[in-house]
A and B are shown apart, each in its own frame.
Chain A
Amino acid sequence: EAGVAQSPRYKIIEKRQSVAFWCNPISGHATLYWYQQILGQGPKLLIQFQNNGVVDDSQLPKDRFSAERLKGVDSTLKIQPAKLEDSAVYLCASSLGGIRANVLTFGAGSRLTVL
């Protein structure tokens, strides 16, 4: 089966600019996650969707970050305006969802550098 697709793989922007990342999960996976991974740290959950509804966005900096999953499939994560500390890899993952043992499948990530 095809994996989780993310684009772009790399993005360089200046601070105060905006950027958007796209994720296409595994077909049939109801749950989608966005993680932020700063260099040297473990991934940090930003937002979790179940179909097109938000389950948890408690760690999402809502003053600058937004995410949507309009049709319950693809998702977009946007940062506007970007800050230097947003430099990180943004990982998208998906899972079947609905069960406690659900296993996450991650994409390769989108690496953001903010100058």
Chain B
Amino acid sequence: DAKTTQPNSMESNEEEPVHLPCNHSTISGTDYIHWYRQLPSQGPEYVIHGLTSNVNNRMASLAIAEDRKSSTLILHRATLRDAAVYYCIDKLIFGTGTRLQVFP
């Protein structure tokens, strides 16, 4: 079964960059790596996805290891609104995610 591993929690100060890691050693060669985040009392929200190359969008950047067994979600300047649980998923399977706390 597909499985991702993430740290349970991370902390950041506002305006600082945040690097959220994920291991997905069972990902197949043609499956995309997706990242979602979930704010309290809301459904998960799409953040970014990628296959092999690093990706950027208005929310974040995604750095994918050359062997594709891990990736890192990068929030360039954390804001209080970025406090959420961040999930990387493989084959529609969510792990327990990383709870990001952002301090003013």
| A positions within 8 Å CB-CB of B | 4, 33, 35, 41-45, 48, 91, 93, 100-101, 103-109
Contacts and interface: CB of A to CB of B under 8 A. Distances in A.
Contacts, number: 43
A8 to B, nearest CB: 15
Interface of B: 30-32, 34, 36, 41-46, 49, 51, 87, 92-97
Main secondary structure of the interface of A (DSSP, over half): loop
Contact of B94 (A42, A48, A100): A42
Given A93-B43, A108-B42, A100 B93 contact: no
A112 to B, nearest CB: 14
Contacts of B87: 42
A91 B38 CA distance: 12
A45 B96 CA distance: 13
20 contacts: A33-B92, A35-B94, A42-B87, A42-B94, A43-B44, A44-B94, A45-B92, A45-B93, A48-B92, A93-B43, A93-B44, A101-B32, A103-B46, A103-B49, A104-B46, A106-B43, A108-B41, A108-B42, A108-B43, A109-B42
Contacts of A43: 44, 94
Contacts of B30: 100
Given A42-B87, A42-B97, A91-B44, A101 B51 contact: yes
The 6 A-B residue pairs with the shortest CB-CB distance, nearest first, are A106-B43, A42-B94, A101-B32, A43-B94, A106-B44, A103-B46
A105 B94 contact: no
Contacts of A4: 43
A33 B89 CA distance: 15
A107 B46 CA distance: 12
Contacts of B44: 43, 91, 93, 104, 106
B61 to A, nearest CB: 17
A45 to B, nearest CB: 5
